[in-house]
Amino acid sequence: MDQTRLRSLLAIAEHGGFGRAAAALGLAQPSLSRQIALLEQEVGRPLLYRHGRGARLTEDGQRLADAARPLLTGLANLASALDDPVPRGQVVLGVPTFMSVHLAGSIFGELRQRYPELHIRLVDGFSGFINQWLTEGRLDIAILYDSQRSRAIMAEVLAEEDLLLFAHRRRARDLRGEGLEQDPVPVSALAELQLILPDQQHGLRRALHRAGAHPDPALLLEVDSLAAIRTLVEHGLGWSVLPRAALTQEAAKRCYILRDLGAPPLRVRLMVAVSPARGMTPALRAVLAHLHAMVARLQERGIMSAPAARARQN
């Protein structure tokens, strides 16, 4: 079975449509459509549902994608099989700020103990900065929001995150018309709130924009610092939107309101990404495997959710 056709199928599944997948693969859309047509002809059954907003996998397409993904990853790593198998040297890992608190202990404890010759430098920041640093070659591996594959970045889905609207309880009056406290808040309601959000270059703002959120510029404070956002919310200066994993402390305190956004709840994908120019070394493979293991633990604790495709299999 042709690798190019299989990679085309995986790209459409990841990006949700032919146009975005073609751009990510560097192909013309008719060429991508031809690859899928040949693959469907080869297997003798449809692999994609086409609809007005893009395309999604059929059940047969999902089974084929799940089987092909690890095989293609293994083929991509064949060239490095002759390298020194011991993870060693420095790996610079970039993660969203809220993730560092969940990962630092195990990275500098468990992972360092397992591979004493492996040296990790951990960098955190908002996802727009992390994406820029990875593209510029300042990072070896990164966790990002909804990153798309390109010539500069190879990415795979790591987890999904619920986005929660939160504020100090003294601002409860702002949502008097939005149902009971446990009810989700419509995304459209954000236009009426004093919001404290990072800049538009970051994944969180892009996710809100895709969901139809239109903050009022007159009510919006743009802050590219997680610590500052938390402080401003604590002082009652507005509402913010952050992933559930960033709000474990606030969730334990009665002085905060946390509400789901939208129904079904608004989610963003977390991707783990590397630069193709780096090559998949034993050190990078060790870090990647550890990130998957740590995220699986966070999913078991209910802090993160599995990607939708994986969730359908359970």
Strands 220-222 and 195-197: parallel
Q: DSSP of 16-71, one letter per residue?
A: SSHHHHHHHHT--HHHHHHHHHHHHHHHTS--EEEETTEEEE-HHHHHHHHHHHHH
- For residue 75, give every residue at least 6 positions away whose Cβ sits within 8 Å of its Cβ, in sequence order, or none: 3
Q: Residue 196 and residue 216: Cα distance in Å, rounded? A: 11
Tokens for 164? 């929660």
Chain mean pLDDT for the chain: 84
Mean pLDDT, residues 166-177 taken together: 86
Q: What is the pLDDT of residues 199-215, one digit of tens each?
A: 888 888 888 988 888 89
Q: Residue 286 and residue 294: Cα distance in Å, rounded? A: 12
- Given this model, what pLDDT does residue 312 score? 36
Q: How confident is the model at residue 313 (pLDDT cuts 50, 70, 90)?
A: very low
One fold for 3-76 and 162-267: no
pLDDT cut 90: percent of the chain above it: 32
Q: Which of 103-112, 125-134, 151-160, 287-296 has the lowest mean pLDDT?
A: 151-160
Q: Residue 275 and residue 172: Cα distance in Å, rounded? A: 44
Mean pLDDT, residues 145-157 taken together: 65
- Given this model, what pLDDT does residue 37 score? 92
- Given this model, what pLDDT does residue 72 score? 77
From the list 210, 213, 206, 240, the residue with the least C-alpha distance to 226 is 240
Can you name the CATH fold of 162-267? D-Maltodextrin-Binding Protein; domain 2 (3.40.190)
Q: Residue 282 and residue 276: Cα distance in Å, rounded? A: 15
Question: Domain extents for the chain?
Answer: 3-76, 85-160+268-313, 162-267
Strands 154-168 and 256-260: antiparallel
* pLDDT over 60 at 236, yes or no: yes
- Given this model, what pLDDT does residue 238 score? 94
* pLDDT over 90 at 168, yes or no: yes
- Given this model, what pLDDT does residue 264 score? 85
- Given this model, what pLDDT does residue 310 score? 42
- For residue 202, give every residue at least 6 positions away whose Cβ sits within 8 Å of its Cβ, in sequence order, or none: 126, 127, 128, 129, 145, 224
Q: Residue 17 and residue 22: Cα distance in Å, rounded? A: 9
* pLDDT over 50 at 311, yes or no: no
Q: Residue 163 and residue 178: Cα distance in Å, rounded? A: 17
* pLDDT over 70 at 281, yes or no: yes
Is 127 in contact with 204 (CB distance < 8 Å)? yes
Q: Residue 213 and residue 278: Cα distance in Å, rounded? A: 37
Specify the CATH architecture of the domain 85-160+268-313: 3-Layer(aba) Sandwich (3.40)
Question: Is the bond preceding residue 276 a cis peptide, omega within 30 degrees?
Answer: no
CATH 1.10.10.10 fits 3-76, yes or no: yes
Q: What is the pLDDT of residues 247-267, one digit of tens each?
A: 888 888 989 999 999 888 888
The β-bridge partners of 51 are 54
